[in-house]
Amino acid sequence: MPSMTDHVVVVGAGYAGAGTVKSFEDEIEDGEAELTWISEHDYHLVLHETHRIIRNPQAESKVAIPVDEIKEPSTNFIRDHVTDIDTDERTLELRDGEAVDYDYLLVGVGSGTAFFGIDGLEEHALTMKSLDDAREIHEAVREAGDNATQNDPAQVLVGGAGLSGIQTAGEIAGYRDDTRTPIDIKLIEGLDEIFPGNDPRVQGALKKRLQDRDVELLTGDFISEVDDEQVYLGEEESMPYDVLIWTGGITGRGEIADTDLEQDDRSHRVFSESNFQTSDDRVFAIGDAALVDQGGDEQAPPTAQAAWQAAEVAGENLARAVRGAPLKSWKHKDKGTVISVGEEAVAHDVMGVPINTFGGLPAKVLKKGIACRWIADVSDVKRALSAWNDM
Ligand X SMILES: Cc1cc2nc3c(=O)[nH]c(=O)nc-3n(C[C@H](O)[C@H](O)[C@H](O)COP(=O)(O)OP(=O)(O)OC[C@H]3O[C@@H](n4cnc5c(N)ncnc54)[C@H](O)[C@@H]3O)c2cc1C
Contact window for ligand X (CB under 6 A) among 21-29, 115-123, 259-267, 297-305: 297-305
Answer for which of 106, 289, 300, 378 binds ligand X (CB under 6 A) is 289
Residue 378 Cα distances to 26, 141, 231, 298, 357, angstroms: 12, 32, 41, 29, 29
Give the nearer residue to ligand X in terms of CB position, either 226 or 292.
292
- Least distance to ligand X, CB of residue 12, Å: 3
Cα–Cα distance, 142 to 156 (Å, whole number)? 11
Q: Does 302 bind ligand X (CB under 6 A)?
A: yes
| Closest residue to ligand X using C-beta atoms | 14
Q: Does 309 bind ligand X (CB under 6 A)?
A: no
- Decide: 244 and 229 in contact? Cβ < 8 Å: no
Which of these, 210, 128, 115, lies nearest to 169 by C-alpha position? 210
Give the nearer residue to ligand X in terms of CB position, either 111 or 155.
111
Answer for which of 60, 303, 320, 376 binds ligand X (CB under 6 A) is 303
Cα–Cα distance, 84 to 93 (Å, whole number)? 5
Q: Does 313 bind ligand X (CB under 6 A)?
A: no
Answer for which of 9, 163, 233, 375 binds ligand X (CB under 6 A) is 163
- Least distance to ligand X, CB of residue 16, Å: 3
Residue 170 Cα distances to 55, 115, 123, angstroms: 9, 22, 24
Answer for which of 17, 120, 159, 190 binds ligand X (CB under 6 A) is 17
Task: Work out the burial of residue 74: count CB atoms within 10 Å of its CB; fewer than 13 is exposed, 13-18 middle, 19 or more buried.
Answer: exposed
Q: Does 48 bind ligand X (CB under 6 A)?
A: yes
- Least distance to ligand X, CB of residue 251, Å: 12
DSSP H or E segment with residue 358 = strand 357-358
Phi, psi dihedrals of residue 283, rounded to the nearest 5°: -115, 125
How many residues comprise the chain?
391
Name the site residues for ligand X (rule: CB under 6 A). Answer: 11-17, 38-41, 47-48, 50-51, 81-82, 108-110, 128-129, 163-164, 167-168, 253, 255, 287-289, 302-305, 307, 339
